[in-house]
Amino acid sequence: MATFTELGVSAPVLRALARRGIEAPFKIQDLVLGDALAGRDILAKSKTGSGKTLGFAIPIVERIDPSMSRPAALVLVPTRELAGQVCDEMADIAATRNLRVAPVYGGVGLEKQAQRARKAHVVIATPGRLQDLLDRRMITLDRISILVLDEADRMLDMGFQPQVDRIVGRLTGPRQTMFFSATLDGRVGQLARGYTNDPVRHEVHEDRPTISAASHRFLPVTDDLKVERLVEVLKEKRDLALVFVRTKHGADRLRKKLGQRGIQSLAIHGNKSQNQRQNALDRFAAGHVDVLIATDVAARGLDLDGITHVINYDPPGDHTDYVHRVGRTARAGRTGAGVTFVAPDKLHDVGAMARTLKLHTEFEADGLTMSAPPQRGRTQRPRPNGRSPRPRRARRR
């Protein structure tokens, strides 16, 4: 694996990285930096938490001239949390070349946000809010020379393709496009090919489609003892714990139940304002409260160093959601634990997901077994004498 210097990273950026303890590139950075710094279009496939942010942040900082018209680079991300985190990740290396970075996302005032974005060299934006600013003519994208789509698969999952298409359609000048996604198949692949010109494709291949640096546990639970089981897990040796639930109301109810059992927690979901969500994240990141309850939408893109436990209180919808959730821990070389509760009525679905993720050994470690699919349709009750019911005769018409 090459060094940052061998890949073409400048001395000022190297010093900024070193101050953060980053001295060697991660695999995805090693793959993409050479081509990205050369101005090539990039298609990059890499799992969450692999260090891909610096894979596009470094080339943006190195290739943008501070004297260029602003904004000169645009990064599209699926959520406001990820927009803030990408800005934080870029801020110190951008400062080495006197570049300004500004986030654009919903939940805050339009005018001040637009003013900052117009003065910034790099805009990190969610598609919905950026489209709003464009429609109001509060910002223009005429001078964009670098476009990045980060977590592109998530943007499609969240229904942002119409906005992304309209935004990209406004970028009429020559540009470099970098496309980062956990998958490059299906609709994501079609989108990538449509937005790029003769791209170089880089992929980080995994032995199994999940987070290898994390341990994976599947715990049988019943509805009446589910909260008590969660309390037991939260009392294990850990740092920060992120608990996923299915609904916004479920997050608030669980927070109240944990409080009744002496465990302080915070909840974030779509009904919370941006200020409420950011305040909760700040308190959680600082360790003032070490349990955060979240829905999938609220936690997309969440990247905090201290998360050691991700607990699926309600199981994820499918294996991609599992990877995204548990990917909030064991990031960028760290370890962590993913814990999934399995109620009797979810045994088959979670078992099928575990099989897809090649986690069947972990699934069966706590006495769970891969079940057959539940029977669909009407079931017949046995007669009191134990005999099976006679089949009904067809009715004459």
Residue 384 in domain? no
Instruction: Kindly state whether residues 219 and 158 are assigned to the same domain.
Output: no
Confidence of residue 168 (pLDDT cuts 50, 70, 90): very high
Domain tally, the chain: 2
Does 221 share its domain with 330?
yes
Q: Using 50, 70 and 90 to split pLDDT, how confident is the model at 207? A: low
**Would residue 341 count as lying in a domain?**
yes
Q: Of the given ranges (36-45, 114-123, 157-166), which has the lowest mean pLDDT?
A: 157-166
From CA 363, how far away is CA 353, in angstroms rounded? 10
Residue 377 confidence (pLDDT): 45
pLDDT of residue 133: 96
DSSP 314-381: S--SSHHHHHHHHTTSS-TT--EEEEEEE-GGGHHHHHHHHHHTT-HHHHHTTT--PPPPPPPS--PP
Q: How confident is the model at residue 123 (pLDDT cuts 50, 70, 90)?
A: very high
Average pLDDT over every residue of 373-380: 46
Is there a contact between 145 and 171 (Cβ–Cβ < 8 Å)? no
- Rounded CA-CA distance 192/63 in Å is 22
Is residue 106's pLDDT more than 70?
yes
Q: Quick one: average pLDDT of 343-372? A: 87
* Predicted pLDDT at 382: 40
Q: In this structure, is residue 159 part of a structural domain?
A: yes
pLDDT of residue 351: 92
Residues 182 and 222 in one domain: no
Say how far residue 51 (Cα) sits from the centre of its chain. Answer: 12
Q: Which residue has the higher pLDDT, 394 or 360?
A: 360
Last residue of a domain, one of 203, 235, 253: 203
Query: d(Cα 368, Cα 221) in Å, to the nearest integer?
Result: 11
Instruction: Based on the fold, state whether residues 44 and 145 are members of the same structural domain.
Output: yes
pLDDT higher at 156 or 71: 71
Residue 166 DSSP symbol: H
Confidence of residue 385 (pLDDT cuts 50, 70, 90): very low
Answer with the residue of higher pLDDT: 231 or 205: 231
Average pLDDT over residues 173-200: 89
What type of residue sits at position 137? Answer: R
Residues 166 and 225 in one domain: no
Task: Give residue for tokens 């669909």.
Answer: 376
> Contact at 8 Å (CB) between 105 and 278?
no
Question: Does 301 score more than 80 pLDDT?
Answer: no
Across the strands, what pairs with 74? Answer: 123, 147
325-347 pLDDT per residue, tens: 888 888 766 789 999 999 999 99
Q: Are residues 192 and 245 in the same domain?
A: no
Q: With a cut of 70, say whether residue 185 has pLDDT above it.
A: yes
Q: What is the CA radius of gyration of the chain?
A: 24
Query: How many angstroms separate the CA atoms of 106 and 20, rounded?
Result: 30
* Domain containing residue 174: CATH number: 3.40.50.300
Task: With respect to residue 382, please indicate whether it lies within any of the assigned structural domains.
Answer: no
Boundary (domain end) residue, out of 203, 231, 246: 203
The verdict on residue 295 lying in a domain is yes
Q: For the chain, what percent of residues have pLDDT higher than 70? A: 88
Average pLDDT over residues 380-387: 42
Q: DSSP labels for 254-272?
A: HHHHHHHTT---EEE-TTS
Question: Considering the domain boundaries, does residue 288 fall inside one?
Answer: yes
- Per the model's pLDDT, the better-predicted residue between 115 and 375 turns out to be 115
* Residues 36 and 138 grouped into a single domain: yes
pLDDT at 317: 87
- Do 199 and 238 lie in one domain? The reply is no
Residue 390 lies in a domain: no
Asked if residue 161 and residue 78 are part of one domain, the reply reads: yes
Instruction: Check residue 378 and give its pLDDT.
Output: 42
Residue 243 phi/psi, 5-degree rounding, is: -110, 120
- Over residues 283-289, the mean pLDDT reads 92
For range 154-172, the mean pLDDT: 89
Q: What is the pLDDT of residues 220-262, one digit of tens each?
A: 999 999 999 999 999 999 999 999 999 999 999 999 999 999 9
Portion of the chain with pLDDT greater than 90, in percent: 60
Calpha distance 65→80 (Å, rounded): 27
Q: Is the confidence at residue 395, as pLDDT, over 60?
A: no
Q: Which of 17-21, 127-131, 171-175, 210-214 has the lowest mean pLDDT?
A: 210-214
Shared domain for 303 and 154, answered yes or no, is no
pLDDT at 392: 46
Mean pLDDT of 63-90: 92
Question: Looking at residue 32, what is its pLDDT?
Answer: 96
Which of 203, 230, 250 is at the close of a domain? Answer: 203
Residue 51 shares a structural domain with residue 126: yes
Domain identity same for 245 and 186 = no
Domain that holds residue 320: 214-364
Task: Decide if 369 is inside a domain.
Answer: no
Look at residues 45, 210, 386, 109 and name the one whose alpha carbon lies nearest to residue 218: 210
